[in-house]
Structure 1
Amino acid sequence: MLTAKRAGLSGTALKIIALVLMVLDHIHYFFEFTGLVPEWFSMLARLSAPLFLFCTVEGFGHTHDRKRYFLRIWAIATAMGTVEFFMMYAGVLRRGDGFYPLNAIMQNFVILCIIWQGIDWLRQRRFVRGVLAAAAPILWPFCIVALLTLFPKIQDAPIGSAVLAWVITAPLPLWTSITDGG
């Protein structure tokens, strides 16, 4: 039996296009100061974020194992956040003029997956789980403020402040200041 071939791009093709566009954006991001990289690199590259978002929505909605899908996105986001942490606080991988990117789109996807799962639980009438999941990313910054209010000396302790900075940069991103705002 023959199967009809679908018209259009596959998810993999969309991801490859988004990846190429993202590389163009990063080339512009890091080397624009030289004057050798054209502005259209950045303009064209603005399409990568919506393409990645679309692929994430489709992947989350159609995966057979949401937990595994989420953990994979979370692991990538945590790795990217750790690199970003070392850029911010240790000066690693910075440009010669001290510039470093604040671009953590994967952390946005982690937060969105949590909210989407919460919405699905609400649809299934699992209200407590749903509300907690949907509200967790919104409430997380307030939890950090409460922690710092209750234990202000954490900020003075070198190890305590470094650990807290890493936690809100990588594994549990603080959307108010760390994610790229997308």
Structure 2
Amino acid sequence: MEEKIEVKKGLTGFQIKIIAMILMVFDHIHAYLNYSKNVPIQFRWVGRIVAPLFIFMTVEGYYYTRNKKKYMIRLYIAQLIMSIGNDLLDKFFPRPDSIIIMSSMFKTLFLIVIYLSIVDFLRGAFKDKNISKVLLGIGFLAIPILLSSVIMISISNLPFSFIRIFMLLIPMPLFTEGGIVFIAIGIVLYLFRDNKTKQVISYIIMCIVIMLLSGDFSIQSLLYTNFQWMMIFAAPLMYLYNGEKGRGMKYLFYIFYPAHIYLFHMISYYMLTR
């Protein structure tokens, strides 16, 4: 008798990543190909849920990976390669409207993984009631933000080449996509990952806070200017995650993410300069 394979209800990690990549294409069509102002704003709306979904899956990847150090190194190399690629594209394919490639999600995901490792360090320190390690862990949490602040304050007094190389080699919270907000989302999702309901509710609360901080609650603002709150719609997909990895295509996102951005950038370059 053949053994039946039980299929869990919900979405696998692979399916969530595919959904995020499809929506990411819509978002970047608006970001890079809207020079004629004819791409619907709705393309940006659906794009708001992309980063939270990749943060969510990065948290899952960090939790399940057997080699966390290797996982960090892979993300670091990805952000380094993409940063160099961004600079090269901006140099050899400069858009007349001065729009440059600012995408750096790999930097954000790398920093999130770094912070998750610090969270694990602090958990161990609290469990062992080791005050010196607790203080050390708090210091680790603060150092990247303090370093970012120092660079931001001193940026006008430092050589441009030094700033470029420093920011290329050392990702910092205040100079990455989503900044501290995205990093905080990653930490919260990790802290509550053992309870799906609490995890999703905590995420929804963060989205509401982001909306409230915008200060302008007019329909015009919420739909056309301050629409980052729309990342709240990633919550249902997070809740539907069934804990299964799904198809194993580890490097698909690593390749697709920069490749489609560079394609859109070059298309826009030739369309604007022809």
Deviation at 1:5, TM superposition (A): 0.9
Q: Could you tell me which amino acid in structure 1 is paired with residue 170 of structure 2?
A: L
Matched residue, 1:174: 172
Matched residue, 1:76: 78
Q: Are the equivalent residues in 1 in contact too, given 2:80–2:169 (CA < 8 A)? A: yes
Deviations 1:116-168 (A, max 9, x none): 1111011111546633432332232256479879xx6x51xxxxx42431321
Could you state the TM-score of these two structures normalised by the residue count of structure 1?
A: 0.79
Matched residue, 1:104: 104
Q: Could you tell me which amino acid in structure 1 is paired with residue 163 of structure 2?
A: L
Structure 1 pair 18–97 and aligned structure 2 pair: CA distance change class (3 A): same
d(CA) in 2 for partners of 1:173, 1:58: 22
Q: Are the equivalent residues in 2 in contact too, given 1:107–1:173 (CA < 8 A)? A: yes
Superposition pairs of residues 145-160 of structure 1, within 5 angstroms: 155=159
Q: Could you tell me which amino acid in structure 1 is paired with residue 173 of structure 2?
A: W
Deviation at 1:68, TM superposition (A): 0.9
Q: Which has the higher contact order (CA 8 A, sep 6+)?
A: 2
Percent of aligned pairs with the same amino acid: 27
SS at match of 1:176: helix
Q: Which runs of 5+ in 2 are unaligned?
A: 126-132, 183-274
Matched residue, 1:14: 16
- 1:165 matched to 2:164? The reply is yes
Matched residue, 1:158: none
Q: Are the equivalent residues in 2 in contact too, given 1:114–1:134 (CA < 8 A)? A: no
d(CA) in 2 for partners of 1:46, 1:145: 27
Deviations 1:61-83 (A, max 9, x none): 12111111111111111122223
d(CA) in 1 for partners of 2:59, 2:109: 9
d(CA) in 2 for partners of 1:138, 1:71: 21
SS at match of 2:34: helix
SS at match of 2:14: helix
The worse-fitting range, judged by mean Cα deviation, of 133-142 and 113-122 is 133-142
- 1:135 matched to 2:142? The reply is yes
Q: Are the equivalent residues in 2 in contact too, given 1:30–1:95 (CA < 8 A)? A: no
What number of residue pairs does the alignment pair up?
171
Q: Are the equivalent residues in 2 in contact too, given 1:81–1:104 (CA < 8 A)? A: yes
Matched residue, 2:57: 55
Structure 1 pair 84–106 and aligned structure 2 pair: CA distance change class (3 A): same
d(CA) in 2 for partners of 1:98, 1:148: 21
d(CA) in 2 for partners of 1:130, 1:2: 47
Superposition pairs of residues 107-126 of structure 1, within 5 angstroms: 107-125=107-125, 126=133
Q: Could you tell me which amino acid in structure 2 is paired with residue 175 of structure 1?
A: P
Deviations 1:23-64 (A, max 9, x none): 111111011122332222111121111111111111111211
Structure 1 pair 24–57 and aligned structure 2 pair: CA distance change class (3 A): same
Q: Which runs of 5+ in 1 are unaligned?
A: 156-160
d(CA) in 1 for partners of 2:136, 2:78: 25
d(CA) in 2 for partners of 1:129, 1:85: 36
